[in-house]
């Protein structure tokens, strides 16, 4: 066994291997002289199990967090689309229903994809509390798990404008939540990272669509397709937008840069150029009022 050749092969496959081993480069490079040959497989196996096992656990945890948000949003839209009947006005008007039906279908597709991915990786997919259906057969609707009025705080089922405000807030928050998990998804750059960036781009399009609907309907904040400064659709949703007025990225003062017209970029342009990430704990606190 040539331990140096083995380590070189691993390093070529994963250039960040030593970082994942938490600074154990010196240990690995001294195996030949300090560890008995018979003990090498066990010693190396233990190190890599700790390093990559932890990485996989973190990755699955982040995927399950994304799955939790997909359940949340799918149930939100599925419930909203069902409000109304032949004798009662539909919450979502006919002109807007195709767009929201597409969003619901895409949330379901994301949900199914994430469940399958987590299963393939040997993890246990997230299931909402009080879920009484059969997630395996593809039925993620769980009305006993959510109260999207937040215990009558939000009158969304009788007021379409309120529904749109909350829908925009949920989508904007989800984009930020996914941004906050991207460093964990980078543990698997071949498949997971690419797929999660694609899912996040779809979520951003959901937010843009809802913003367009609100703008067309004459929303007082007249939203653009993206977040401007830290402006929420309603003041009571301000917590979801804290930090979106950040003007510094990677140590660079964005509003000090020269724009295409020759002058420095405005604060508005600087904040619109980036989606600010949110940590998982913050997102969990923001959606907690809507969980049963």
The answer, yes or no, to whether residue 22 has pLDDT greater than 50, is no
Q: In whole angstroms, give the CA distance from residue 132 to residue 114.
A: 20
The answer, yes or no, to whether residue 103 has pLDDT greater than 90, is yes
Backbone angles phi, psi at 250, to 5 degrees: 50, 40
Q: Considering only CA atoms, which of 267, 109, 128, 133 is closest in space to residue 203?
A: 109
CATH entry 1.20.1260.10 includes domain 65-226+275-290 = yes
The answer, yes or no, to whether residue 239 has pLDDT greater than 70, is yes
Backbone angles phi, psi at 150, to 5 degrees: 50, 55
pLDDT of residue 33: 45
Residue range(s) occupied by CATH 1.20.1260.10 in the chain: 65-226+275-290
User: What band does 167 get if pLDDT is binned at 50, 70 and 90?
Assistant: very high
User: What band does 136 get if pLDDT is binned at 50, 70 and 90?
Assistant: low
CB 172 within 8 Å of CB 228: no
Q: In whole angstroms, give the CA distance from residue 56 to residue 112.
A: 20
Determine the average pLDDT of the residues in 194-222. Answer: 93
Q: In whole angstroms, give the CA distance from residue 150 to residue 212.
A: 25
Determine the average pLDDT of the residues in 80-106. Answer: 88
pTM assigned to the model: 0.79
pLDDT greater at residue 90 or residue 24 = 90
The answer, yes or no, to whether residue 112 has pLDDT greater than 80, is yes
pLDDT of residue 248: 87
Residue 221, SS3 per DSSP: coil
The answer, yes or no, to whether residue 47 has pLDDT greater than 60, is no
pLDDT greater at residue 279 or residue 274 = 279
The set of long-range contacts for 190-199, using a CB threshold of 8 Å and a minimum separation of 24, is 192/59, 192/63, 192/117, 195/113, 195/117, 196/66, 199/66, 199/110, 199/113
pLDDT of residue 11: 52
Average pLDDT, the chain: 82
For residue 252, the surrounding DSSP H or E stretch is strand 252-253
Q: Considering only CA atoms, which of 185, 216, 203 is closest in space to residue 275?
A: 203
């Amino acid at each position: 066994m040539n331990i140096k050749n083995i380590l070189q092969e691993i390093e070529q496959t994963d250039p960040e291997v030593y970082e994942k081993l938490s600074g154990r480069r010196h240990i690995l490079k001294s195996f030949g002289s300090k560890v008995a040959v018979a003990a090498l497989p066990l010693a190396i196996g233990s190190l890599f199990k700790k390093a990559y096992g932890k990485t996989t656990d973190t990755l699955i945890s982040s995927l399950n967090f994304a799955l939790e948000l997909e359940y949340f949003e799918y149930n939100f839209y599925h419930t909203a689309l069902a409000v109304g009947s032949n004798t009662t006005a539909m919450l979502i008007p006919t002109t807007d229903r195709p767009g929201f039906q597409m969003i619901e279908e895409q949330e379901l597709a994301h949900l199914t994809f994430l469940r399958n991915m987590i299963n393939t990786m040997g993890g246990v997919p997230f299931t909402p509390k009080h879920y009484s259906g059969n997630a395996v057969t593809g039925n993620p609707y769980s009305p006993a798990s959510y109260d999207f009025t937040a215990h009558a705080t939000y009158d969304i089922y009788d007021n379409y404008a309120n529904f749109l405000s909350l829908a925009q807030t949920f989508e904007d928050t989800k984009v930020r939540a996914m941004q906050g998990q991207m460093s964990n998804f980078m543990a698997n750059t071949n498949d997971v990272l690419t797929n999660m960036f694609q899912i996040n781009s779809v979520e951003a399009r959901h937010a843009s669509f809802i913003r367009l609907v609100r703008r067309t309907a004459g929303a007082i904040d007249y939203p653009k397709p993206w977040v401007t400064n830290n402006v929420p659709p309603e003041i009571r949703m301000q917590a979801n937008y804290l930090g979106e007025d950040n003007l510094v990225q990677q140590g660079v003062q964005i509003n000090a840069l020269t724009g295409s017209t020759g002058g420095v970029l405005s604060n508005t342009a600087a904040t619109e150029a980036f989606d600010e990430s949110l940590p998982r704990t913050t997102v969990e606190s923001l959606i907690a009022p809507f969980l049963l």
